[in-house]
Amino acid sequence: MDSGYALLFSWWLDKRLVNASNRGFAADIRKHLPFLFEQYGARILPNDQEPPPSFDFALVTILAGDLVLRFFRDRGTVTVRVSSTSAPDNSHELSTLLSVVDVGVERRHFSPLLDVAPVLRSHMGDLRQAFSVGRYGHVKEQLSEISQHDEVIRQQWEREINRRT
């Protein structure tokens, strides 16, 4: 069945589904985050990679000043990864980055896109500063420590799950 689908449909249908999902998500971003476009001259960039077709998954890449914002949506949860234009492949999750910058934002998941708006609106300057030459080395070091801690926790969970099965 899967090979029949691949032969007959996936070569053209999957791409259409991904593009439609991404376009719909981009429209939602424009609707709920208009300040990015009005105040920061944001523009939507083509994605450097397209996600596989999946229920409710979408990816939109936005250039807003000297920041690259990659918005991911999967089953209603929104993830935003932020990088500078000088190192677009070195991105960090929004709330983790802001928690390191110490502006009173705790690490969290965003459910609807509306949850992202107030955080981004009030912290665009902090994000730009986090990637500044004088500050990014320290920020990157702290993010690395968080990443290492998260990996230890993930491995502990994995061991516990494997022990129980």
Asked if pLDDT for residue 128 goes beyond 90, the answer is yes
Q: How does pLDDT run across 18-41, given as a tens digit for each residue? A: 788 889 999 999 999 999 999 999
Sheet holding 58-64, edge to edge: 43-45, 58-64, 67-74, 77-84, 92-93
Residues 38-59, mean pLDDT to the nearest whole number = 81
> At 5, is the pLDDT very low, low, confident or very high (cuts 50, 70, 90)?
very low
Q: Is 0.75 topped by the overall pTM?
A: yes
Residue 77's nearest CA partner among 108, 45, 104 is: 108
Q: Percentage of the chain surpassing pLDDT 70?
A: 87
Domain boundaries, given as residue ranges, for the chain = 2-164
CB distance 58 to 21 below 8 Å: yes
Q: Quick one: DSSP state of residue 106?
A: P
Strand partners, 43: 63
Write out the two tokens for 143. Answer: 């993010």
pLDDT for the residue 87:
87
Q: Which residues contact 124 (CB under 8 A, 6 or more apart)?
A: 39, 40, 64, 65, 67
CA distances from 99 to 19, 93, 106, 118 (A): 33, 10, 5, 15
CA distances from 1 to 4, 7, 52, 157 (A): 5, 10, 19, 35
Q: How does pLDDT run across 150-162, given as a tens digit for each residue? A: 888 888 888 888 8
> At 123, is the pLDDT very low, low, confident or very high (cuts 50, 70, 90)?
very high
Asked if pLDDT for residue 17 goes beyond 90, the answer is no
